[in-house]
Structure 1
């Protein structure tokens, strides 16, 4: 996606007022999110050992930032892409029970990310994970959790409106559920991104389910690593974002793989060599709890609620000089 400059853009808040609003949204949201979802805040790593298999491989082509540590010779360390697998291990190590969960501030570097209005090489999100029973690995559990998250985001809109009435973005009243196959059937001649935009513009907010496996066309809707989400029990929360005339992904989440779905997805992805990694062995041997989890973009949420045109308005990152200057000329002030 190339840089988009909305016509007659007005951020309504100064840079310092924006910083105050960012802090308010982040502080308020995580408290409400933790309370509503029964999640405890825990500390999380910025990097993990490559040999652990705990890093998120995303679509399998992104290069993690790697380095060595003088005190641990022979080991390569990677900056996390996300904490999708680490959280499940933490729930096991810390003794969380069904119905209990955790959330944490996750910061990552994604060096291969395209830099535009929505994408940055710096990722900041609330990563969360909750223990469930095997019986609760269902679509109903997934939908119920999605509705709760939507309710919390919708409540945050009211909180922001109370403090910043001129800046708030008004969100739809409900979230609509659709599978990636239903979406392909509806728009067979469109690309996956075009389908997402069309359905999200129609309903305002959708949860697009079942991402990762091949569709009837022979292609997946989007890539998903084979070793954390169950491709039949996952999805993305998308809001229609008028400023950029596109769907804005706020969260990727899902019920995590069990022993059977992990075996199946590793085979489909051609990643069966991962079976020998410590994390994957524990999962296949039934040592890890069944969980549901995901990530909620902190900057994306601020961008959505404050109706901002560029993610750089709500996070400090690195941008090309020509982008910084073009944005400045149109009242888009990158931090």
Structure 2
């Protein structure tokens, strides 16, 4: 079910032409900084992959991929990607990328099961990135270093926007705050996961929540995560499970937290087997991606996705992601959004 947040007194700070200029500048500047910070080179990525190979991102495991038959392959089914979480790791191996270096790409996806609203669209665009690492770097400390580098690129980009459009004042804190999902639960024990995210992000402005996918002490997960890319069960150097997390920033326009990135250290052979067992998905061991990982044909890596439209939405102080990207919206949402000052492309 779609849901529209109507920010009180909202008025777009930029017209349509300024918005398009801002989007272009933000995307160019941020990806250059991301590439420099993490030593990534750009590669070309697929829009679809063959079904049944275990390459597509399963997200929470319940979302349906958009599929279509391929005439020249005897109607074999292709799937529009949800993200490139596993494809990138295959590419690191096939391109023989060296340790300490990686790749990034423009990922475009269709997620037909999204609940449409200010932050969720049928169309997803993000920078997907992946970097080769070594065994000694599989720690919370290394994860935090990478997060801080990504966040530094975000802070610089916000200042670029301020130089272009002085009416948009920088609001990101200089440092990002780290907290484990279990610690967050203990801080706000009576709140839902989303309420906890809002509470902690409003307090600190920018937060990275560690340990997404594993079961917490209350018997629930903070959020779901597929078992075959992020490592959410290995005990980190903080004594808690999980080598992954979500990066959130406070959105003053919508008065709520905004998830910008989901990322993490990827599963090694042991973590994959453990997480498939916990997720009752051991049959996936026979799929192409999983076989290559279990045969030690894929490098250890860290990676994630960074939402392009969401980042632009935040930097340009927009109230709806439809002010940044062209997509399909319910007629009543378009009408109500326009009445609230949000012109959906």
Aligned to 2:338, which of 316, 320, 328? 328
Q: Counterpart of 2:235?
A: none
Cα deviation, 1:253-291, whole Å, max 9, x if unaligned, reads 000000011011001111100001011011112110000
**Could you tell me the TM-score, scaled by structure 2's length?**
0.95
Identify the residue that residue 175 of structure 1 maps to in structure 2.
Answer: 176
Preserved CA contact (<8 Å) 1:169 1:307: no
Rounded to whole Å, the distance in 1 between the matches of 2:245 and 2:81 is: 21
Partner of 1:127: helix, strand, or coil? strand
Secondary structure in 2 matching 1:71: helix
For residues 329 and 3 of structure 1, the distance between their equivalents in structure 2, rounded to whole angstroms, comes to: 12
The question of whether the paired residues in 2 share the 8 Å contact of 1:13 and 1:167 is answered with: no
Shift in Å, 1:33: 1.1
Matched, 1:318 2:332: no
Question: 1:52 aligns to what?
Answer: 53
Gaps of 5+ in 1: none
CA shift at 1:330, angstroms? 2.1
Once the two structures are superposed, residues 149-206 of structure 1 have per-residue CA deviations (whole angstroms, 9 ceiling, x without a partner) of 1100000011110001113552122100000100111111111001111111111110
Output the CA distance in 2 between the equivalents of 1:73 and 1:140: 49
Superposed, 1:37-76 pairs within 5 Å as: 37-76=38-77
Partner SS for 1:129: strand
In structure 1, distance between residues paired with 2:337 and 2:221: 35
Aligned twin of 2:247: 237
Q: Report the equivalent of 1:2.
A: 3
User: In the alignment, does 2:257 pair up with 1:247?
Assistant: yes
1:308 to 306, 309, 318: 318
Cα distance change of structure 1 residues 139 and 215 upon mapping to structure 2, 3 Å threshold: same
Q: Is the 8 A contact 2:180 2:209 kept in 1?
A: yes
**Aligned equivalent of 2:289:** 279
* 1:84 aligned counterpart, secondary structure: coil
Q: 1:209 aligned to 2:210? A: yes
What is the aligned partner in structure 2 of residue 134 from structure 1? 135
Distance of 2:48 and 2:270 partners within structure 1: 29
Is the CA contact (8 Å cut-off) linking 2:159 and 2:170 kept in structure 1? no
Q: Secondary structure at the match of 2:231?
A: strand
Further displaced range: 316-325 or 85-94: 316-325
Please give the alpha-carbon distance, in whole angstroms, between the structure 1 residues aligned to 2:334 and 2:308.
Answer: 21
The ranges of structure 1 where at least 4 consecutive aligned residues each deviate by more than 3 angstroms after the TM superposition are none
Aligned pair partner of 1:299 in 305, 309, 314: 309
Equivalent pair of 1:239/1:248 in contact (CA under 8 Å)? yes
Distance in 1, matches of 2:171 and 2:196, equals 23
- Give the Cα–Cα distance (whole angstroms) in 2 for the partners of residues 295 and 169 of structure 1: 23
CA distance in 1 between counterparts of 2:118 and 2:168 reads: 18
The question of whether the paired residues in 1 share the 8 Å contact of 2:313 and 2:320 is answered with yes
Give, in angstroms, the shift of residue 15 of structure 1.
0.9
RMSD: 1.0
Q: Trace 1:26-175 onto structure 2 (pairs within 5 A).
A: 26-175=27-176
Give the Cα–Cα distance (whole angstroms) in 2 for the partners of residues 147 and 8 of structure 1: 34
The answer for the alignment partner of 2:239 in structure 1 is: none
State TM-score, norm by structure 1: 0.98
Q: Please list the CA deviations of residues 97-155 of structure 1 after superposition, one character each: whole Å capped at 9, or x if unmatched.
A: 10110000000000000001110010000000000011111111100000001100000
Aligned mates of 1:92, 1:61 — CA distance in 2: 28
